[in-house]
Amino acid sequence: MTEPVEERVRGPRLLGPPRNRPAREEGARGALIAVISTLAFMATAIWVILTSDAWPAVQRQFFNPEKIVDAFPAIARGFWLDIKLFLLAEVLILIISLLIAMARSLRGPAFFPIRALAITFIDLIRGVPIILLILLLGFGVPALQLPGVPRSAIFWGLTALITSYSAYTAEVYRAGIESVHESQRMSARSLGLTQIQALRYVIVPQAIRNVIPALLNGFVSLQKDVALVFVLGIREGVREADIFAARTFNYSGYVTATFLFLLVSVPVARFTDWYTDRDRRRKQAVSN
């Protein structure tokens, strides 16, 4: 008797593996290889370092447990100042840079002076290294002894960070504003909204969603660059490590400060990568 066509077609399929099995096996094999290669690399690196003739001297100078314990309280207090400066600066940067980006995005001849000021600010500030800006503001302005002008090193160090990062972040916002389709602006204007109202209620909310990954990357960078205010003599984490090294001729304090910064920056960096990947998948799903 002749086999039904459906059975003849279905039969050979049962002999082969399920469709998803090769993909799962390939993924598991890749993960296993990645783990083994990582462990092998780390073990080799540790073995090379620990068997080096210079390791005992390096260990005494950089990884001395007693010195790390001695340095930790002062460096931790200084690092807490870094965190407070970082959080305050980030809030102000997000607000000020958004206002600058909105000013640069205004159209029409009547707003030309505002656009020119925004462009001039961005071009000038981005052209000055942040460390130089900190030195100029932190030492230069207090030296003028202007009446009513603060002379605090913390104030001017924070001002330099906010000024520099606001110029860069404004360009991130501007990229997000320009990524919003022109029809959104035209629709808002057709409803009777002014340019500022259209930006505030229609364009900017969409722009911010588009640039959150880039803003998070700036968040990570600021967390590290806030330590640059140590050049003004502010006793934050790096400055405390520097004082400890000068007092003991031992560099374990720098390792302590490094660990504290990594304790904050690595989780933030991982969250940034996770959010960026999720945002990319969301956009791909919408486009499909």
Q: So where are the chain's domains?
A: 5-50, 61-287
Q: pLDDT grade, residue 88 (50/70/90)?
A: very high
| 127 in Cβ contact with 120 (< 8 Å) | no
Sequence letter at residue 53: D
Q: pLDDT grade, residue 20 (50/70/90)?
A: low
Q: Which of 10-14, 116-120, 175-179, 261-265 has the highest mean pLDDT?
A: 116-120
Q: pLDDT grade, residue 9 (50/70/90)?
A: very low
* Cα–Cα dist 183/206, whole Å: 13
In which residue are the tokens 């520097």 written? 242
Return the exposure string of 246-277: e unless at least 16 CB atoms fall within 10 Å of the residue's CB, then b.
eeeebbbbbbbbeebbeebeeeebeebeeeee
Question: What are the start-end ranges of the E strands in 53-188?
Answer: none
What proportions of the chain, in percent to the nearest 5, are helix, strand and coil? 85, 0, 15
11 has a pLDDT exceeding 60: no
pTM score of the predicted model: 0.79
* Cα–Cα dist 226/152, whole Å: 16
Mean pLDDT within 111-139: 94
Superfamily of chain region 61-287: MetI-like (1.10.3720.10)
12 has a pLDDT exceeding 80: no
Mean pLDDT of the chain: 86
49 has a pLDDT exceeding 60: yes
- Residues present in the chain in total: 288
Over the stretch 207-234, which tens digit does the pLDDT of each residue have? 888 888 888 888 888 988 999 999 998 9
